[in-house]
Amino acid sequence: MTSVNWGLLGPEMLASERRTRTLGVGAAVRAFNDLAVPSLGGVKYSKSIFLACLGIYVAEKSRETGAQVSNIQVTNAIEALASCLSYRMNGWQSDPRLQGNTKLRGKEDLSFKIVSQHNFYVTQPMRMATVQTLPGLGLVEGKGERFNSYCLSVHGVDLVRAGCEGFKCHSNGIADFLVKWVLGDARNPNQLGLLQAISPLEELAQGAKGIIKERLVSGNDDNAKRRRNALTWVGNIAETPCVNWKKPNELTDEHFKDIQSGAYFFMLRDKIMQLLDVVETDVANAKSGKLVMSEGFSINVVKSLSNVKSAADQFISVQHDPSPEKLATLLAKECLQASDAQIILSLVDRDNVVLKVRDKEIVKGPAFGGTQAELEEEYQGVSLFPAGVSYRLWNLHVLNLDFNGQLELWLNKKESV
Pairing of strands 168-169, 355-358: unpaired
Indicate the SS3 state at residue 152: strand
Measure the CA–CA gap between 289 and 279, rounded to whole angstroms: 11
Whether 14 and 128 have beta carbons less than 8 Å apart is answered as no
Percentage of the residues of the chain whose pLDDT score is greater than 70:
92
Supply the DSSP string of 239-253, one letter for each residue: TS---S-PPPTTS-H
For residues 86-105, average pLDDT? 95
What pLDDT was estimated at residue 226? Answer: 98
Measure the CA–CA gap between 255 and 6, rounded to whole angstroms: 24
Task: Point out the least confidently predicted range of 118-127, 193-202, 213-222, 406-415.
Answer: 406-415
User: Residues 62-67: contacts with CB within 8 Å, 24+ apart?
Assistant: 62/179, 62/182, 62/183, 65/179, 65/183, 67/182, 67/183
pLDDT band at 9 (very low <50, low <70, confident <90, very high): very low
For residues 104-115, average pLDDT? 96
What pLDDT was estimated at residue 11? Answer: 46
What pLDDT was estimated at residue 5? Answer: 37
Average confidence score pLDDT of the chain:
91
What pLDDT was estimated at residue 412? Answer: 84
CA-nearest of 393, 311, 391, 380 to 10 is 391
Amino acid identity at 416: S
What pLDDT was estimated at residue 294? Answer: 87
What pLDDT was estimated at residue 369? Answer: 85
Question: For 321-374, how does the pLDDT look when each residue is reduced to its tens digit (9 = 90+)?
Answer: 999 999 999 999 999 999 999 999 999 999 999 999 999 899 999 889 886 655
Percentage of the residues of the chain whose pLDDT score is greater than 90:
83
Is the entire prediction scored with pTM above 0.85? yes
Whether 131 and 145 have beta carbons less than 8 Å apart is answered as yes
Q: What letter does residue 362 receive in the DSSP assignment?
A: E
